[in-house]
C-alpha cells in the first residue's frame, strides 16, 4: 500500500500518457480507415458510373441523349425501349442462337475436360508428363497461328455459316480448363481411389462416383468460364457466321451500328447492350465465389 | 502409388511390360479428346500456316509457293504493316505498365483490412463480366466528343476535351482507358497473391522499425514478383492479340460500321486487325499466315527475354 502511494503521481502521469497515446492512435486509425474507404468509394464510382450512364441513356428520350450539360437523371424513363429493342433488333433470334452455342459448349467442355483431366491428374502412365507439357505449351500459343488453317479446314468441310466451327472444338477440351480440373483432381486423396479399386470399381465408375461429386466447385468454375467466353465471344461469330438468321447477340448488335453517329438508333442499341450484359452480370452476382476462385488459381499456380 | 501392392494382387503370368503398356493405352484413351483436338486443330494448323506463309493463297486457288516474298514485302514495302506494329507497341507499352501499377495499388487497398471488402471487390471486378460490345458501346458514348460526360467534366475544368475515338491522336488513349476499366481481373489475381504473403514477415519488418511504405516496398512487392511477372506476360500476350475492343472501337467511334477496319486514319489498325483485314477482307491467306508466324516468333522471343532479364528480380519462396 505504502509503495503504491509513493509511486502514485508517477503512475498517473504514465496512465495519462498512455491514454493520450491510445487516443492519438485511435484517431489515426479512424483517419486511416476514412481515407481508405474514401479512396475505395471514389475508385468504385469510376467503375460503376459508366454502367449507370449506359442504363440511364438507354432509358432517356432521344432529345436528352445529345444535350449539354449531359443529363444524369432522365426526365422520364422510357421502359418500353426494351420491348421496342426486341423488335428493332431480332433480339430473341440472336439470343436463341447465343444461348444454343453457349449451353452446347458448356456441356461439351465439361465432358471432354473431365475425361482428359482424369487421364492427366489421376492415372499413372508412361509418357503422361510429355503430353502434359505439350498441353501447357498450347496455352501460350497465339491463336492467330492456327486461325487461318482452321478456317480453311472448316470451309472444306462446308461448316462456314453454321454453328459447327464454334461448337465442335468444345468436344476436344480447353487446355486451361483441363489444367484447372487436373489441379483439383490431384488434391483428392489417393486412398479413395485405392479403396474403390479394391472394391472392383472401373475407372469410369471411379471418375463418375468419386471424382465428379467431389469436384463440383471446380466444375462450376469451369462452366462459368465457358459460359462467359462463349456468351461474350465476338471474333468467332465474326469469322464464321454471316447469315443474319444465325448471328449471335454480339455480332448481331454490331451489324446494327449504322453508318454514322446520327444514323444509329443509339437508344435501341444501348438498351440491347444492357440486355446482353444482364445474364453474365446476374451469373457473376450469384456465383461470385467461383469467379474469384478460378481467377485466383490462374495467377497462383503459374 | 501402390505399385508394390498391385504387383502382389496381379497374377504373375501377366508381364510387367504388358501391364505398363495397358496403362499407357488407358491414359491415352482418357486424354484422347484433347490429343485428337491437338492434332487437327493445333499441330496441323501450326505447320499449315507456316507453309501458307511462304505462298500466295486466296482459298479458291491452291497455294502458290513464293518463297520469302511475303516476309520481304512485310518488312520492306508494306507501310501499313509497320503502322500496325507501331500502334500495337504504343498500346502495349502504355497499357501494360499502367494497368500493372493501378491493379497492384487497388489490390493493396483492398488487402488492407477494411470493412465491406467483398463489396468493393465485387464492384471492381464487375466491369470484366460486361460483354465487349456493350463495354465499347458505353465507352464510345461516354467519350462522345460533343455530348459525352467526360468531355463535359473536362470542360468544367477549363480543358477542351479531345475527339477521343474519332481523333487519330486520341483513339488509342481512349481504348487504353477502356482497358483500364477492366483491370479488376488482374486485381483479383494480385489480391490472392497478397493474401499468400506470410504475416510473420510483416511482423518482423515492424520489429525492425519499417514504415508502411517500407513494408510494401521491401516485403510485399518482392514476394509478389512471381504474380507480377505472370500478369505482365499475360498482359503482353493479350496486348499483341488485341482485337475485339479495337475492332468495335474503330467501327463505333469513327462514326459507325463500314468506315474501314482500324479507323480513324489507321490509328486503331492494330497488328491483329491488319492480319484480319488481310485474311478475311482481302483473302490474302498467305500474307496473313506469314504475319501470324512473325507474331508467334516475336512473342516467344519476348517471353524468353523477359524470363532471362527478370530471373534475378523474381523471388520464388517455394
Distance from CA of B186 to the nearest CA of A (A): 8
B314 and chain A in contact, CB less than 8 A = no
B80 contacts B274 by C-beta, under 8 angstroms: yes
Domain count within chain B: 2
Which chain A residues are within 8 Å of B34, Cβ to Cβ? 112, 116, 135, 172-173, 175, 178
B19 part of a folded domain = yes
Distance from CA of A256 to the nearest CA of B (A): 9
Q: Of the candidates B28, B35, B112, which has its C-beta nearest A36's C-beta? A: B112
A223 contacts A106 by C-beta, under 8 angstroms: yes
B242 shares a domain with B159: yes
Q: Of the candidates A37, A128, A299, which has its C-beta nearest B189's C-beta? A: A299
Residue A293's pLDDT is 74
Distance CA A261, CA A62 (A): 13
B126 shares a domain with B41: no
If one counts every other C-beta atom within 10 angstroms of the C-beta of residue B15, the result is: 9
- Residues A158-170: what's their mean pLDDT? 96
Inter-chain contact B49–A123, Cβ cutoff 8 Å? no
The string of pLDDT tens digits covering residues B160-210 is 888 888 888 999 999 999 999 999 888 888 888 888 888 888 888 888 888
- Residues B281-308: what's their mean pLDDT? 93
B37 shares a domain with B162: no
B255 part of a folded domain = yes
Inter-chain contact A270–B141, Cβ cutoff 8 Å? yes
Domain boundaries, chain A: 2-64, 81-300
B77 shares a domain with B35: no
The string of pLDDT tens digits covering residues A81-136 is 888 888 888 999 999 999 999 999 999 999 999 999 999 999 999 999 999 999 99
Residue of B nearest to A52 (CA): B138
B315 part of a folded domain = no
B141 shares a domain with B91: yes
Residues in chain A: 302
B173 part of a folded domain = yes
Which residues are CB-neighbours of B63 under 8 A, at least 6 positions away? B51, B52, B55, B56, B57, B285, B286
Q: Of the candidates A51, A144, A298, which has its C-beta nearest B275's C-beta? A: A144
Domain span holding position B94: 73-310
User: Which CATH fold topology does A81-300 show?
Assistant: MetI-like fold (1.10.3720)
Helix axes A91-121 and A175-185, enclosed angle (nearest 10)? 50
The string of pLDDT tens digits covering residues B10-57 is 555 568 888 889 999 999 999 999 999 999 999 999 999 999 999 999
- Report the mean per-residue pLDDT for chain A: 87
Residue B86's pLDDT is 96
Inter-chain contact B30–A115, Cβ cutoff 8 Å? yes
B160 shares a domain with B14: no
Inter-chain contact A50–B189, Cβ cutoff 8 Å? no
Distance CA A230, CA A157 (A): 22
- Residues A140-165: what's their mean pLDDT? 95
Residue of B nearest to A190 (CA): B1
B58 part of a folded domain = no
Q: Of the candidates A124, A194, A259, which has its C-beta nearest B23's C-beta? A: A124
Instruction: Check which CATH number belongs to the domain holding B117 and give it.
Output: 1.10.3720.10
Inter-chain contact B24–A131, Cβ cutoff 8 Å? no
- Residues B137-163: what's their mean pLDDT? 87
Degrees to nearest 5, angle at CA A161 with B285 and A272: 110
Q: Which residue reads 483436338 in cell numbers?
A: B37
B211 part of a folded domain = yes
Which residues 273-292 of B are in CB contact (within 8 Å) with A?
Answer: 275, 279-280, 285, 288-289, 291-292
Amino acid at each position: 500500500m505504502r509503495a503504491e502511494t509513493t509511486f502514485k503521481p508517477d503512475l498517473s502521469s504514465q496512465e495519462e500518457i498512455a491514454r493520450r497515446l491510445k487516443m492519438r492512435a485511435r484517431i489515426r486509425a479512424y483517419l486511416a480507415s476514412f481515407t481508405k474507404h474514401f479512396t475505395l468509394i471514389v475508385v468504385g464510382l469510376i467503375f460503376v458510373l459508366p454502367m449507370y450512364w449506359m442504363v440511364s441513356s438507354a432509358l432517356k428520350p432521344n432529345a436528352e441523349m445529345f444535350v449539354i450539360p449531359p443529363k444524369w437523371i432522365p426526365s422520364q424513363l422510357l421502359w418500353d425501349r426494351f420491348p421496342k429493342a426486341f423488335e428493332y433488333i431480332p433480339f430473341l433470334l440472336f439470343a436463341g442462337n447465343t444461348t444454343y452455342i453457349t449451353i452446347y459448349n458448356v456441356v461439351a467442355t465439361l465432358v471432354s475436360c473431365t475425361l482428359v483431366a482424369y487421364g492427366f491428374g489421376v492415372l499413372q502412365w508412361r509418357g503422361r508428363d510429355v503430353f502434359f507439357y505439350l498441353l501447357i505449351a498450347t496455352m501460350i500459343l497465339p491463336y492467330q497461328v492456327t486461325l487461318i488453317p482452321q478456317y480453311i479446314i472448316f470451309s472444306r468441310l462446308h461448316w462456314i455459316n453454321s454453328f459447327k466451327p464454334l461448337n465442335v472444338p468444345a468436344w476436344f477440351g480447353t487446355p486451361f480448363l483441363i489444367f484447372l480440373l487436373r489441379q483439383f483432381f490431384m488434391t483428392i486423396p489417393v486412398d479413395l481411389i485405392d479403396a474403390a479399386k479394391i472394391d472392383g470399381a472401373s475407372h469410369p465408375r471411379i471418375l463418375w462416383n468419386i471424382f465428379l461429386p467431389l469436384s463440383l466447385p471446380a466444375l462450376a468454375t469451369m462452366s462459368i468460364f465457358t459460359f462467359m467466353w462463349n456468351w461474350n465471344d465476338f471474333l468467332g461469330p465474326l469469322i464464321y457466321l454471316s447469315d443474319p438468321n444465325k448471328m449471335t447477340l454480339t455480332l448481331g448488335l454490331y451489324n446494327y451500328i449504322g453508318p454514322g453517329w446520327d444514323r444509329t438508333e443509339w437508344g435501341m442499341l444501348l438498351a440491347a447492350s444492357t440486355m446482353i450484359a444482364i445474364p453474365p452480370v446476374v451469373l457473376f452476382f450469384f456465383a461470385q465465389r467461383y469467379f474469384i476462385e478460378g481467377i485466383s488459381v490462374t495467377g497462383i499456380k503459374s | 502409388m501402390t505399385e508394390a501392392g498391385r504387383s502382389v494382387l496381379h497374377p504373375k503370368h501377366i508381364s510387367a511390360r504388358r501391364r505398363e503398356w495397358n496403362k499407357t493405352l488407358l491414359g491415352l484413351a482418357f486424354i484422347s479428346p484433347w490429343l485428337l483436338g491437338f492434332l487437327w486443330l493445333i499441330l496441323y494448323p501450326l505447320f499449315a500456316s507456316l507453309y501458307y506463309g511462304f505462298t500466295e493463297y486466296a482459298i479458291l486457288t491452291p497455294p502458290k509457293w513464293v518463297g520469302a516474298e511475303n516476309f520481304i514485302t512485310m518488312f520492306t514495302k508494306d507501310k501499313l504493316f509497320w503502322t500496325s506494329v507501331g500502334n500495337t507497341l504504343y498500346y502495349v507499352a502504355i497499357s501494360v505498365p499502367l494497368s500493372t501499377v493501378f491493379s497492384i495499388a487497388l489490390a493493396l487497398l483492398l488487402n488492407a483490412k477494411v470493412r465491406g471488402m467483398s463489396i468493393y471487390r465485387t464492384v471492381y471486378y464487375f466491369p470484366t463480366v460486361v460483354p465487349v460490345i456493350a463495354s465499347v458501346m458505353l465507352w464510345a458514348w461516354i467519350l462522345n466528343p460533343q455530348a459525352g460526360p467526360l468531355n463535359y467534366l473536362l470542360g468544367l475544368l477549363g480543358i477542351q476535351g479531345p475527339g477521343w475515338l474519332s481523333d487519330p491522336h486520341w483513339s488509342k488513349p481512349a481504348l487504353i482507358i477502356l482497358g483500364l476499366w477492366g483491370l479488376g481481373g488482374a486485381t483479383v489475381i494480385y489480391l490472392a497473391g497478397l493474401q499468400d504473403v506470410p504475416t510473420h514477415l510483416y511482423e518482423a519488418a515492424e520489429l525492425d522499425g519499417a514504415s508502411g511504405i517500407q513494408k510494401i516496398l521491401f516485403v510485399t512487392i518482392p514476394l509478389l514478383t512471381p504474380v507480377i511477372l505472370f500478369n505482365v506476360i499475360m498482359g503482353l500476350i493479350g496486348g499483341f492479340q488485341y482485337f475485339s475492343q479495337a475492332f468495335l472501337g474503330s467501327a463505333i467511334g469513327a462514326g459507325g460500321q463500314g468506315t474501314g477496319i482500324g479507323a480513324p486514319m489507321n490509328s486503331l489498325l492494330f497488328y491483329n486487325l491488319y492480319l484480319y483485314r488481310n485474311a478475311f477482307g482481302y483473302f490474302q491467306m498467305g500474307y496473313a499466315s506469314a504475319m501470324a508466324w512473325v507474331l508467334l516468333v516475336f512473342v516467344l522471343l519476348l517471353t524468353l527475354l523477359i524470363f532471362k532479364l527478370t530471373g534475378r528480380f523474381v523471388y520464388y519462396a517455394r
